[in-house]
């Protein structure tokens, strides 16, 4: 069975084609600058030359059509016809309180997404456009929605309720929802494997650090708190998003500088975070280089970002009540040793001891590594996330009637014998390039080496 997964952003579409029977990735790619001038597709089929083609995509339907044309291209594609695709999985950022697990999309489900799109104005409209476009182009196959918020539906009321008029929650749905759930689900299940424990016997703190960033407290295998809130703006310092601020600041700036509500929303979402502090950089690699050259604002941005992570780790250790492991994932989490190091500073009193040498070695998107000291009571893992695999498995199970909420469902990657063939080959390449990396790669039995 061939499954296509689509992750539609406001100006991009990320995709993966997966052969379920062989358990192999058939193709991956990204269409950039959708709805903008200069759009292009970056496509990779294993065993074939990578493809980069400029093609104007004024809307998401054109982008999805371009993806399908590329997937079936005789020279660069992976399949002969789109008739081989039997199901499509879609990432949806916000499912509100309506969905506790992934669902097959029908008109009623799509209408719920439309009704709550104001809860994620930067994400859900693009997700909806992608689903609508894909259903038009592939009308005869099932389409499934995998919500970032579903993972966090286990949070207790005291964790998701804001100290605001309760009628705001009752009438307008104002509460903490949390995001990055698909990533947290994958890394939580993998962490349990590495610890040699059952998923629902593990207490974890997982930091998903990328351009968007959030942190999740997991007690007995389920989410009990998370840093993002009603929208993906709350919590950690991000690439362009502010994270936690005094809620009076917007009113202060509206009065002091005459900034409109719309401009404030844009500033908090797109002009803040590390970009706001440095005034020029979003990519953490650029910030590290600038800081190394003495740029004081770049240094400050790194300190502010890592300090915010450290504070949340402390708070969530209290919320969980005894931590088995800290997990870093996503782009910066997987390949940012400086941020990881600074985030873990001073936590020895909690039994969290980072090994700086191991940490410096861990810069791979393929290997699951352990970067804590050998005698650290709390282990520290770096686990590359795989949201596409979760989407694929949810889609397959939905279509076959075997799917359920994650507390009643077992994923393939929960098996200690699970191997990601593509990443396994990548690990071997990384080990050849990085001396000592093999020492920190973690086996499924939970031991390094």
Residues 209-252 pLDDT 10s: 998 999 999 999 999 999 999 999 999 999 999 999 999 999 99
Can you give the pLDDT at residue 421?
A: 85
Q: How confident is the model at residue 444 (pLDDT cuts 50, 70, 90)?
A: low
Taking the chain, what is the end-to-end CA distance rounded to the nearest angstrom? 35
% residues pLDDT > 90 (the chain): 83
Q: Tell me the mean pLDDT in the region 41-52.
A: 93
Tens of pLDDT along 127-182?
A: 898 899 889 888 999 999 999 999 999 999 999 999 999 999 999 999 999 999 99
Can you give the pLDDT at residue 101?
A: 94
Task: Give the chain as a 3 state SS string.
Answer: CEEEEEEECCCEEEEEEEECCCCEEEEEEEEECCCCCCCEEEEECCCCCCEEEECCCCCHHHHHHHHHHHHCCCCCCCCCCHHHEEEEEEEECCCCCCCCCCEECCHHHHHHHHHCHHHCCCCHHHHHHHHHHHHHHCCCCCEEEEECCHHHHHCCHHHHCCCCCHHHHHHHCCCCCCCCHHHHHHHHHHHHHHHCCCHHHCCEEEEEECCCEEEEEEECCEEEEECCCCCCCCCCCCCCCCCCCCCCHHHHHHHHHCCCHHHHHHHHHHCCHHHHHHCCCCCHHHHHHHHHCCCHHHHHHHHHHHHHHHHHHHHHHHHHCCCCEEEEEHHHHHHCHHHHHHHHCCCHHHCECECHHHHHHCCCCCCCEECECCCCCEEEEECCCCHHHHHHHHHHHHHHCCCCCHHHCCCHHHCCCCCCHHHHHHHHHHHHHCCCHHHCEECCCCCEC
* Dihedral over Cα of 395, 400, 406, 410: its sign: negative
Tens of pLDDT along 404-437?
A: 999 999 999 999 999 888 898 899 999 999 999 9
Q: Tell me the mean pLDDT in the region 93-99.
A: 89
Can you give the pLDDT at residue 411?
A: 96
To the query of whether residue 148 is one of the catalytic residues in this protein, the response is yes
Sketch out the chain's domains with CATH numbers.
Answer: 2-147 (3.30.420.40), 181-385+420-439 (3.30.420.40)
What's the pTM value of the predicted model, to 2 decimals? 0.93
Residue 38 near residue 27 (C-beta atoms within 8 A): no
Please tell me which residue in 73, 115, 140, 148 is annotated as part of the active site. 148
Average pLDDT value over all residues in the chain: 93
Tell me the residue length of the chain: 449
Can you give the pLDDT at residue 118?
A: 80
Can you give the pLDDT at residue 354?
A: 98
pLDDT at residue 116 tops 70: yes
């Amino acid at each position: 069975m061939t499954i296509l997964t689509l992750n539609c952003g406001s100006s991009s579409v990320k995709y993966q084609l997966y052969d379920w029977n062989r358990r192999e990735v058939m193709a991956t790619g990204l269409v950039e600058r959708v709805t903008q001038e200069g759009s292009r597709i970056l496509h990779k089929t294993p065993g074939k030359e990578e493809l980069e083609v400029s093609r104007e995509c004024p809307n998401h339907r054109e982008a999805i059509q371009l993806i399908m044309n590329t997937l079936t291209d005789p020279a660069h594609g992976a399949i002969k016809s789109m008739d081989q695709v039997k199901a499509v999985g879609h990432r949806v950022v916000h499912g509100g309180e309506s969905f506790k697990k992934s669902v097959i999309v029908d008109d009623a489900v799509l209408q719920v997404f439309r009704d709550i799109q104001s809860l994620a104005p930067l994400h859900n409209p693009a997700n909806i456009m992608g689903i609508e476009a894909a259903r038009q182009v592939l009308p005869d196959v099932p389409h499934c929605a995998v919500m970032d918020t579903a993972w966090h539906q286990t949070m207790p009321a005291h964790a998701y309720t804001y100290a605001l008029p309760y009628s705001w929650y009752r009438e307008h749905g104002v509460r903490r929802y949390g995001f990055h759930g698909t990533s947290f689900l994958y890394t939580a299940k993998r962490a349990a494997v590495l610890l040699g424990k059952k998923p629902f016997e593990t207490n974890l703190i997982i930091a998903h650090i990328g351009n968007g960033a959030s942190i999740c407290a997991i007690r007995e295998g389920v989410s009990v708190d998370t840093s993002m809130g009603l929208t993906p703006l709350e919590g950690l310092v991000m690439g362009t998003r502010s994270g936690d601020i005094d809620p009076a600041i917007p009113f202060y700036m509206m009065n002091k500088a005459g900034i409109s509500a719309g401009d404030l929303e844009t500033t908090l979402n797109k002009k803040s975070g590390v970009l706001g502090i440095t005034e020029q950089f979003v990519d953490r690699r650029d910030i590290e280089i600038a800081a190394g050259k003495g740029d004081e604002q770049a240094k400050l941005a790194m300190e502010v970002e890592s300090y915010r992570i450290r504070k949340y780790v402390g708070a969530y250790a209290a919320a969980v009540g005894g931590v088995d492991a800290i997990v870093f994932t996503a782009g910066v989490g997987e390949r940012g040793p400086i941020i990881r190091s600074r985030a873990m500073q001073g936590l020895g009193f909690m039994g969290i001891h980072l090994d700086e040498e191991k940490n410096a070695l861990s810069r791979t998107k393929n290997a699951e590594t352990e970067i804590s000291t050998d005698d650290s009571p709390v282990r520290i893992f770096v686990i590359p996330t795989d949201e596409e695999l979760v989407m694929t498995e949810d889609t397959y199970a939905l279509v076959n009637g075997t799917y359920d909420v994650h507390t009643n469902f077992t994923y393939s990657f929960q098996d200690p014998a699970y191997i990601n063939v593509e990443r396994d080959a990548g690990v071997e390449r990384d080990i050849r390039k990085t001396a000592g990396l093999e020492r920190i790669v973690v086996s499924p039995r939970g031991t390094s080496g």
